A and B are shown apart, each in its own frame.
Chain A
């Protein structure tokens, strides 16, 4: 395969490139050369710098040398994209040179949106280049003849690889790549990534055990990034507690008027709904030119908005991360970020949605919704200038994904367990999978539930007389195929009008709180719930005067990145440079200093306050929201155990708070014991059990591992005997199969992903060394107020479930006697 020819493109392709793009850049040439030499690698460049052509022209050039130009070509390239929405644009970009050169080579997309007819066509004949998603790729791997039809495959490209990294979809992709490489040892793998703090790990995950042979190519250009912040006027009257909410809507509306097209990013879908209302109210003349976009809206609606962005007919789109990626919206000339930037790479990515041409500057306007967010924008700028970009850590051994993928592979072809294990071990995620776990997994999928006991009625995978693992039960296979691709999606409730028109989806936890007749806001509309039945909620437009509650989604609060948290701590105490945001927030920082002290990372500040509700401790480790959640859970459990009272806890990115009716005090001994690294794991696990976190985490695991029948509307009838809640499953496994490794995974994922065990432990060790600064404050300080006001706080009741029920009984009786 290594070619001797020079790395310049074939003349017609080179001419096309020169005509369209001018001189190739160094990293593009290098990518073409490396590809021609048979190598794999990772291409790292900001959006709009020609990554797509760097990856595409290598394989295209090779095909032009290898294949006749006058007839259709076999499938040579798979292009994997994380977002279905990107497929159409990628298709256009890849088709451009082919069309120009008049080659009869087909390019097609196959995603969850592709029609059944189209999919059947693709099953007959794969195109020269196939654009697809990780889920669709897995589905194709489950088809017995996929390998044969891919026989001419030379290259697979992973677009937006940073987006997949660090997620279970990323692991699913790693496994699929390992399969492709086992089939075609000469296969070249190329990943495209935007700014990322851990390129080496990204390449390892991409190439598996072949990563030492791979190359990393970086565009030398750093795209200039300008972060401006909309500073509230009249700083003197800045609310002392810092809450701004949507009060900045007026100034934001004026900025929208000054630009041609604005993308307004918020951090959550409910914020998107809120800001859409605010902007609409502030700019009534632009009615019809303002739209919203988030992942729960109906696909048609989203496509309509995307089209409006492309043709410039929309002036402003309020959106969430659903528009973070890829698609080029040329008319966009202004990007606004409402609320905390959360991360440095994230802010840069969003800024990159404007000035989408090479050489253009990225600009973003930050809009604080809270005073401390002013500091966050300034800190994000510091972090960007110091190149402290976040890493995305690839996941390690998620067994639920491996259960799913093993079955996927077996559907495609029976296989030898030892060879499968060897294949899986070539991935980064499972490189050190031990044989005990593997044997457990094989037992789990072949025995029917208890790895040590086989059930006669079980129908799925089985080990044949040939020693190979088989999976050929047709009904179970259908269920499994439906389950592929459910890795990220929580069962969603579809909202429909009685006419059948679908509006989008909400979470069950939200809609189950709405009663028929009640009004809520979704997709910018006032809706009245008519009926909610079996994953379908029927609604009608509401004529009621009052505004209903805005639809909310769980998991809306993403944490500040560690890098940004450090940059903030640094800025508070040793600002690297003066910043207008810092000046603006100074009055609040002064109040904090006057009443208490400015928290930072040199010492641990603990505030003690009494309010009508009880006694509060506010503790500021500056370690990020997830770690604070772990610390708060741990401290609350220990405190509740010691004082026998219920404890309320809240956390944010700066610290956490504990509240009890009585029993708190400001003593160093108390604080040290609450935050002691001793017995950490035991205390945390027991606190977690009472917080039912493992149970929650098990939901995702059960879904990925195929224990929950897919909840597809329309297909429900045939599976109604298989409906069960994940918490019931969790109980059954805990009781009858306590050694099940998926339970173990649930606990591990809670520790690592939800509580960031490693960081938590490091933080506790570090806190144990840090001097304490204890202070009793008369009032809630500016840092304490947001913790106090947090609506999403948790409550750790004293005692176990039984005591709690008894307490409830007493209260019920008391209330009954009063009523």
Chain B
């Protein structure tokens, strides 16, 4: 599904990412790599697996879209503990193998984890033509066209008469498109849309916009 934001064509992908055909940029947010390692470092036994799986998903996505650059809109890694062991090496190796370059727009988790220890170039924010890319949506002026992360938005929708599902979604609030969390070991946060907001949900192989009449208010 395509969305035009400030004249830029954005392709919303069901894989929880956005592709910009004009610049061949692939945008994702909130991977929270090394989350299970963080749990283990604090004494909570959780098996490893999600880091490799998420990076592989991202590689496949870059290959499929022929993206030249992957922009991570913040929270690539989860916490300082995540970087203490093999994650920096894993990341460096992955960047070498990945067909696209990688640019991190630093998020709060990245900063706490230590940007200097993340083996990937990072910037506090980025402009893509008229679009501002920043991790925190709260800090963006309502009239500024932007792409952000941080919220891990999801929406609860009825899927049969007496049942509802919570689905990760893209959320257009004012002029800011908030990306769903990409990491498979991250939760979601239910949003409450206000009039004028738009919600896009990955359904099967497509992304669909939810008609305003069906949005919870």
Contacts and interface: CB of A to CB of B under 8 A. Distances in A.
Interface of A: 444-445, 447-450, 453, 455-460, 473, 475-476, 479-480, 512, 515, 646, 648, 706-707, 709, 721-725, 728-729, 731-733, 735-737, 740, 793-795, 797, 802, 804-809, 812, 815-816, 819
A180 B42 CA distance: 30
Nearest to A480: B43
A819 B213 contact: yes
B84 A795 contact: no
A733 B47 contact: yes
Contacts of B186: 728
Nearest to B81: A457
B187 interface: yes
Interface string B193-209: 00000000001101010
Given A455-B40, A722-B39, A460 B45 contact: yes
Interface string B83-118: 011000000000000000000000000000000000
A480 B78 CA distance: 22
B78 A721 contact: yes
Contact of A812 (B35, B163, B210): B210
A736 B84 CA distance: 22
Contact of A722 (B38, B204, B210): B38
27 contacts: A445-B45, A447-B45, A458-B41, A459-B40, A460-B43, A476-B43, A479-B43, A648-B161, A707-B44, A721-B78, A721-B81, A722-B38, A722-B42, A723-B187, A724-B35, A728-B187, A735-B49, A737-B47, A795-B161, A797-B160, A804-B159, A807-B160, A808-B160, A808-B165, A815-B211, A815-B213, A816-B214
Given A808-B157, A808-B159, A709 B44 contact: yes
A160 B214 CA distance: 52
B54 to A, nearest CB: 12
A691 to B, nearest CB: 10
A725 B81 CA distance: 20
Contacts of A480: 43
Given A732-B46, A732-B185, A809-B208, A457 B84 contact: yes
Which has the most chain A C-beta neighbours within 10 Å: B50, B160, B185, B212? B160
B43 A475 contact: yes
Contacts of B50: 732, 736
B204 A806 contact: yes
Given A455-B48, A459-B40, A459-B41, 6 more contacts: A459-B43, A648-B161, A648-B162, A709-B42, A806-B204, A808-B203
Nearest to A817: B211
A458 B40 contact: yes
Contacts of A721: 35, 38, 42, 78-79, 81
B155 interface: no
A731 B47 CA distance: 11
A797 B164 CA distance: 11
B119 to A, nearest CB: 18
A735 B192 CA distance: 31
Interface in B139-170: 157, 159-163, 165
A810 to B, nearest CB: 10
Which has the most chain A C-beta neighbours within 10 Å: B40, B203, B210? B40
Contacts of A473: 43
Contacts of A445: 45
A795 B185 contact: no
Nearest to B213: A819
B43 to A, nearest CB: 3
Contacts of B163: 795, 797
A819 B210 CA distance: 12
B37 interface: yes
A812 B42 contact: no
A581 B33 CA distance: 65
Contacts of B160: 646, 795, 797, 804, 807-808
Contact of B36 (A447, A449, A794, A797): A449
Contacts of A807: 159-160
> Which 7 pairs, one residue from A and one from B, show the smallest C-beta to C-beta distance?
A476-B43, A736-B49, A460-B43, A816-B211, A737-B47, A449-B47, A736-B47
Nearest to B167: A805
B98 to A, nearest CB: 23
Interface in B1-52: 35-50
B137 interface: no
Nearest to B216: A515
B208 A732 contact: no
Contacts of A456: 85
A444 B204 contact: no
Nearest to A516: B192
Interface in B55-89: 78-79, 81, 84-85
Which has the most chain B C-beta neighbours within 10 Å: A447, A449, A646? A449
Nearest to A819: B213
B167 to A, nearest CB: 9
A819 B43 contact: no
A223 to B, nearest CB: 45
Contacts of A646: 160
Contacts of B43: 458-460, 473, 475-476, 479-480
A135 B46 CA distance: 25
B38 A706 contact: no
B38 A444 contact: no
A268 B28 CA distance: 46
Contacts of A475: 42-43
Given A457-B41, A728-B187, A797-B159, A812 B204 contact: no
B41 to A, nearest CB: 5
Contacts of B46: 448-449, 707, 729, 732-733
Contacts of B47: 449-450, 453, 732-733, 736-737, 740
Contacts of B203: 805-806, 808-809
A457 B157 contact: no
Contacts of A819: 211-213
A451 to B, nearest CB: 9
Nearest to A476: B43
B157 A449 contact: no
B44 A706 contact: yes
A812 B85 contact: no
A457 B214 contact: no
Which has the most chain A C-beta neighbours within 10 Å: B35, B43, B47? B43
A793 B162 contact: yes
B157 A732 contact: no
A476 B192 CA distance: 36
Contact of A449 (B45, B85, B165): B45
A449 B42 CA distance: 12
B52 to A, nearest CB: 10
Contacts of B44: 460, 479, 706-707, 709, 722
A455 B37 contact: yes
Contacts of B212: 819
B44 to A, nearest CB: 6
A819 B163 CA distance: 22
B45 A458 contact: yes
Contacts of B162: 648, 793-795
A455 B40 CA distance: 8
A87 to B, nearest CB: 31
A288 to B, nearest CB: 39
B36 A732 contact: yes
Nearest to A816: B211
Nearest to B86: A456
Given A457-B81, A721-B79, A448 B204 contact: no
A444 B48 contact: no
A512 B213 CA distance: 21
B209 to A, nearest CB: 8
Nearest to B112: A721
Nearest to B187: A725
Contacts of B48: 449-450, 453, 455, 736
A512 B216 CA distance: 13
A802 B204 CA distance: 7
B158 to A, nearest CB: 8
